[in-house]
């Protein structure tokens, strides 16, 4: 059988890795796919020194590639929303299948892209868009197809996890670690996407859609970054038996779906609390299977290429199949997507870590306890660091039971009105993940 012709748009970190893996493992890949897979053209403006493209034709114009009648599968690795969207829509219009690692594009424009792809009977595959090399989309979409999925929670930004790990283990500064992540090719072109949780929210949006069968709704995801975390809170969390991780959480409740990215305290003995460096991990809880955990490199040249190439193999195998009998893009049949609403953060439920900077004199703890109990907030543990009294102020740290966020907002506002409380109350959500 004739080899399948692939065009790679973008020869950066992931594009270069994809070319190298397709070339190095060509024989194994052909044995899996049932036919050869050949890179027929590359579109890039810059050569990649880590990638020997030999005699493969190169164009500087991505639309040359998309209009090349020889190409069966367009691999979009240029990133961003604007040109990438135009490119993918053009490829679909030209009847080509698409493989992309572009989480921003899928999270924001995926509904439109998949609708166009259905019209044209082509596949848009996006395994590499979430958690780099971990085949978590395939696991949820196919491996867990028998389950009603209850919740998922993941460390899905390698850069953020790398920064938190280096800060905690080596006491390095935020800026210093971020610079290294950029040099290693992990960080987004705009690294605020990593540290402010936007990249994680893109990925969480995609995971929630395929887990619960809902349309992509990135604009409704709640996002809070890691830039304001302090070493003091990292250390208090440790003392309470927790680790702080930047977590994406999606949970199905009767009222709606929680979709939130924020720093989170996780019990230190959970496997996921021990996922360090650039590694990613996603826990998925289904009613039949219980909790499952997927772990691996969440970014980087060949780990991400591993997912891109797996999609290319999947598309190759599906080329001759009936478009109506393929795995749906968002796991559920498009006419069966649910309109279960995404909840605002104030309606989400979690436990909370609070750090209150209080004046060190009698009755302060009683006032704090009264404010919480008046709002039905149950305290799980409390710690007052007498040894850390400074200028007559003492940090009071407590962890609550689960409660709706609106009640914690009210309690924090009341605490901050007390004469005995100075500074803003620090609030970090807590998840037991059991
Ligand atoms: N900037 C992303 C990360 C790259 O650090 O996880 C992979 O999506």
Site to probe by mutation for ligand 1, drawn from 200, 298, 307 as the one with most ligand atoms within 8 Å of Cβ, is 298
Report the atom number in ligand 1 closest to the C-alpha of 187: 1
Q: Looking at the predicted structure, is the pLDDT value of residue 390 above 80?
A: no
Q: Looking at the predicted structure, is the pLDDT value of residue 386 above 80?
A: no
Residue of the nearest CA to atom 7 in ligand 1? 299
Q: Which residues line ligand 1 (CB under 6 A)?
A: 132, 157-159, 186-188, 194, 199, 298-299
Closest CA to 411 of 257, 264, 401: 401
Q: How confident is the model at residue 391 (pLDDT cuts 50, 70, 90)?
A: confident
Q: How confident is the model at residue 231 (pLDDT cuts 50, 70, 90)?
A: confident
Taking the centre of ligand 1 as the mean of its atom positions, its distance from the CA of residue 395, in whole angstroms, is: 35
Contact 224, 193 (CB under 8 A): no
What's the confidence (pLDDT) of residue 146?
A: 98
Query: How many CA atoms, within 13 angstroms, populate the side-chain half-sphere of residue 319?
Result: 21
CA dihedral 43→115→137→100, nearest 10 degrees, is 10
Report the atom number in ligand 1 closest to the C-alpha of 130: 8
What's the confidence (pLDDT) of residue 181?
A: 86
Taking the centre of ligand 1 as the mean of its atom positions, its distance from the CA of residue 103, in whole angstroms, is: 10
Average model confidence (pLDDT) for the chain? 95
What's the confidence (pLDDT) of residue 20?
A: 98
Taking the centre of ligand 1 as the mean of its atom positions, its distance from the CA of residue 181, in whole angstroms, is: 10
Taking the centre of ligand 1 as the mean of its atom positions, its distance from the CA of residue 161, in whole angstroms, is: 10
Strands, DSSP E only, in 15-102? 37-43, 58-59, 73-76, 97-100
Report the atom number in ligand 1 closest to the C-alpha of 299: 7
Beta pairing class for 124-125 and 97-100? parallel
Alpha-carbon gap, residue 42 to 38, rounded angstroms: 11
Q: Looking at the predicted structure, is the pLDDT value of residue 118 above 90?
A: yes
Lowest mean pLDDT among 71-75, 100-104, 141-145, 364-368: 364-368
Site to probe by mutation for ligand 1, drawn from 103, 299, 305, 306 as the one with most ligand atoms within 8 Å of Cβ, is 299
Q: Looking at the predicted structure, is the pLDDT value of residue 159 above 70?
A: yes
Beta pairing class for 149-155 and 242-252? antiparallel
For 69-95, the pLDDT digits (tens) are 999 999 999 999 999 999 999 999 999
- Nearest 5°: the CA angle 102, 147, 318 is 50
Question: What number of other Cβ atoms are within 10 A of residue 338's Cβ?
Answer: 12
- Nearest 5°: the CA angle 10, 13, 18 is 70
For 37-61, the pLDDT digits (tens) are 999 999 999 999 999 999 999 999 9
Q: Looking at the predicted structure, is the pLDDT value of residue 252 above 90?
A: yes
What's the confidence (pLDDT) of residue 57?
A: 98
Q: Looking at the predicted structure, is the pLDDT value of residue 133 above 90?
A: yes
- Strand order across the 58-59 sheet: 58-59, 37-43, 4-9, 73-76, 97-100, 124-125
Taking the centre of ligand 1 as the mean of its atom positions, its distance from the CA of residue 74, in whole angstroms, is: 22
Q: Please count the helices (runs of H) and the strands (runs of E) in the chain.
A: 14, 17
Taking the centre of ligand 1 as the mean of its atom positions, its distance from the CA of residue 281, in whole angstroms, is: 13
Closest CA to 128 of 300, 290, 359: 300
Report the atom number in ligand 1 closest to the C-alpha of 159: 5
Alpha-carbon gap, residue 96 to 322, rounded angstroms: 15
- 429 membership: H or E segment, kind and range: strand 421-430
Taking the centre of ligand 1 as the mean of its atom positions, its distance from the CA of residue 97, in whole angstroms, is: 24
For 256-291, the pLDDT digits (tens) are 999 999 999 999 999 999 999 999 999 999 999 999
Report the atom number in ligand 1 closest to the C-alpha of 157: 6
Q: How confident is the model at residue 335 (pLDDT cuts 50, 70, 90)?
A: very high
Beta pairing class for 403-404 and 349-359? antiparallel
Q: How confident is the model at residue 227 (pLDDT cuts 50, 70, 90)?
A: confident
Residue of the nearest CA to atom 8 in ligand 1? 299
Contact 113, 124 (CB under 8 A): yes
Closest CA to 301 of 140, 186, 422, 176: 186
**Can you spell out the DSSP letters for 334-360?**
GGG---PPBPPGGG-EEEEEEEEEEES
Contact 132, 158 (CB under 8 A): yes
Q: Could you tell me the pTM of the whole model? A: 0.97
Report the atom number in ligand 1 closest to the C-alpha of 162: 5
What's the confidence (pLDDT) of residue 185?
A: 82
Q: How confident is the model at residue 171 (pLDDT cuts 50, 70, 90)?
A: confident
Q: Looking at the predicted structure, is the pLDDT value of residue 222 above 90?
A: yes
Q: How confident is the model at residue 424 (pLDDT cuts 50, 70, 90)?
A: very high
Helix%, strand%, coil% for the chain, nearest 5 = 40, 25, 35
Alpha-carbon gap, residue 308 to 305, rounded angstroms: 5
The residues that are catalytic are 203
Q: Looking at the predicted structure, is the pLDDT value of residue 97 above 90?
A: yes
Alpha-carbon gap, residue 282 to 155, rounded angstroms: 6
| 184 or 354: which leads in pLDDT | 354
Query: Would you give the DSSP letter of residue 247?
Result: E
What's the confidence (pLDDT) of residue 387?
A: 67
């Amino acid at each position: 059988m004739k080899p399948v012709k692939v065009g790679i748009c973008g020869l950066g970190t992931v594009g270069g890795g994809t070319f190298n893996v397709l070339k190095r493992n060509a024989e194994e890949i052909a044995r899996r796919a049932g036919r050869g897979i050949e890179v027929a053209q590359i579109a890039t403006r810059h050569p990649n020194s880590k990638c020997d493209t030999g005699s493969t034709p190169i164009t500087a114009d991505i639309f040359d590639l998309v209009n090349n009648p020889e190409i069966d599968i367009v691999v979009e690795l240029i990133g961003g929303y604007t040109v990438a969207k135009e490119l993918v829509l053009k490829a679909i219009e030209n009847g080509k299948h698409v493989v992309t690692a572009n989480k921003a594009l899928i999270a924001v424009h995926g509904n439109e892209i998949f609708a166009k792809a259905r019209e044209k009977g082509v596949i848009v595959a996006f395994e590499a868009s979430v958690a780099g090399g971990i085949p978590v989309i395939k696991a949820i979409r196919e491996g867990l197809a028998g389950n009603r999925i209850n919740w998922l929670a993941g460390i899905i930004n390698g850069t953020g996890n790398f920064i938190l790990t280096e800060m905690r283990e080596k006491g390095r500064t935020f800026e210093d670690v971020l610079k290294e992540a950029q040099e290693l090719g992990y960080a987004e072109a705009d690294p605020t996407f990593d540290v402010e949780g936007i990249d994680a929210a893109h990925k969480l949006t995609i995971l929630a859609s395929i887990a619960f069968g809902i349309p992509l709704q990135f604009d409704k995801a709640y996002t809070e970054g890691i830039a304001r975390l302090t070493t003091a809170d990292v250390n208090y969390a440790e003392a309470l038996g927790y680790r702080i991780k930047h977590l994406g959480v999606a949970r199905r409740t009767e009222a709606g779906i929680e979709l939130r990215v924020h720093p989170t305290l996780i019990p230190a003995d959970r496997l996921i609390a021990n996922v360090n460096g650039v590694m990613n991990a996603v826990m998925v809880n289904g009613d039949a299977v219980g909790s499952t955990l997927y772990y691996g490199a969440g970014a980087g040249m060949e780990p991400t290429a591993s997912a891109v190439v797996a999609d290319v193999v999947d598309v190759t195998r599906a080329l001759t199949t009936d478009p109506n009998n393929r795995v749906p893009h968002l796991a559920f049949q498009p006419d069966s997507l649910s309109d279960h609403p995404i909840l605002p953060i104030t309606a989400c439920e979690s436990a909370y870590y609070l750090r209150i900077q209080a004046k060190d004199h009698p009755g302060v703890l009683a006032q704090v306890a009264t404010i919480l109990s008046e709002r039905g907030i149950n305290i799980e543990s409390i710690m007052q660091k007498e040894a850390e009294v400074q200028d007559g102020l003492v940090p009071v740290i407590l962890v609550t039971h689960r409660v709706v966020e609106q009640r914690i907002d009210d309690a924090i506002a009341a605490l901050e009105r007390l004469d005995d409380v100075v500074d803003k109350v620090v609030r970090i959500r807590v998840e037991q993940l059991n």
